[in-house]
Amino acid sequence: MFFDLGTSKSKSNIKEYYDMIIIGGGPAGVAAGIYAVQGGIKPLIIEKDLDGGQINLTEYVENYPGFSSITGEELAEKMGEHAKKFGVEFHYGEVINVNFEKEEKIISLDDGNIVKAKTVVIATGATPRKLNVPGEKEFAGRGVSYCATCDGHFFKNQKVAVIGGGNTAVEEALYLSKIAKEVYIIHRRDKLRADKIYQDKAFNTANIKFIWNSVVKEIKGDKKVNQLVLENRENGEVSNFDVDGVFVFVGLLPVTQLFKDKIKLDDYGYIIVDEHRETNVKGVFAAGDVIQKELRQIITAAADGAIAASFAVREYFN
């Protein structure tokens, strides 16, 4: 269960103008808020769900400095508390429209509030593309994972499946091969889409095996995942495959629909930023999983937020 952080979408008495509006209250947004306050400006974080964002969906976090092991919910709560103690103001609601055409940026919320700011940090993140099969939602965090770096260590010397055939799937399978006893890459086609360098490494790793032309139809288990139902796309044969965990890497969906035609996005929908995390629109920044990047982790999202806010303070308020 999630912590009750008192999130409410009823209209509240927030001010009309802030120095910085941060859309998203995950690690990137919280870090941006803290660094904005440190820089002497007044930020507002707008979060549609819970402080900490998707960290709340992670059972345990064991690779964030300072915490050898902490639940995702606890870390998320601590992040929110930290920002609030610094004086960062939070508002719980959903942004439904943005206007970046003028120097004063205008943000419209679903509760009727309209707020304005000189600068904006977009930290809306990205969501893993789901398989959308029975059992996936029920076993999320209980054998179903979308991050090998986050959860791979829970499957030491066990049998896991990796769903997908692109660079991310094969890279994560290689990572898991150092932890798990057996790693099965299950791909809907008869060959991988990953770059040759990754394919070669995977084919030459003894404990990585392949199941071709197959898709997952259902994820089964008791308290945790213990079986996949697979369908062969060539002959239609359905079979059960015993497994201790399943890692899904069939793509990410950046949460950027709201910003289409407002700022530049790449072909995959990620926001294009420079080294300061600034977009093509002056005063509008983006941070965290919503931008194209190599490593999507809590620590890198927080770093993005810190960089964006620090540069915004120097460039637009000094």
Which of helix, strand or coil describes residue 117? Answer: strand
Report d(CA 123, CA 138) in Å as an integer.
27
E strand or H helix that includes residue 172 = helix 167-177
Report d(CA 239, CA 81) in Å as an integer.
48
Backbone angles phi, psi at 42, to 5 degrees: -105, 110
E strand or H helix that includes residue 307 = helix 298-316
Residue 275: CB partners within 8 Å, gap ≥ 6? none
E strand or H helix that includes residue 119 = strand 114-122
Cβ(186)–Cβ(173) under 8 Å?
no
Q: How far is CA 247 from the centre of its chain?
A: 15
Which of helix, strand or coil describes residue 106? Answer: strand
Cβ(46)–Cβ(20) under 8 Å?
no
Which of helix, strand or coil describes residue 105? Answer: strand
E strand or H helix that includes residue 305 = helix 298-316
**Of residues 187, 209, 53, the one with CA closest to residue 61:** 53
Report d(CA 30, CA 24) in Å as an integer.
8
Catalytic residues: 147, 150-151
In eight-state DSSP terms, residue 272 is P
**Of residues 243, 247, 294, the one with CA closest to residue 151:** 247
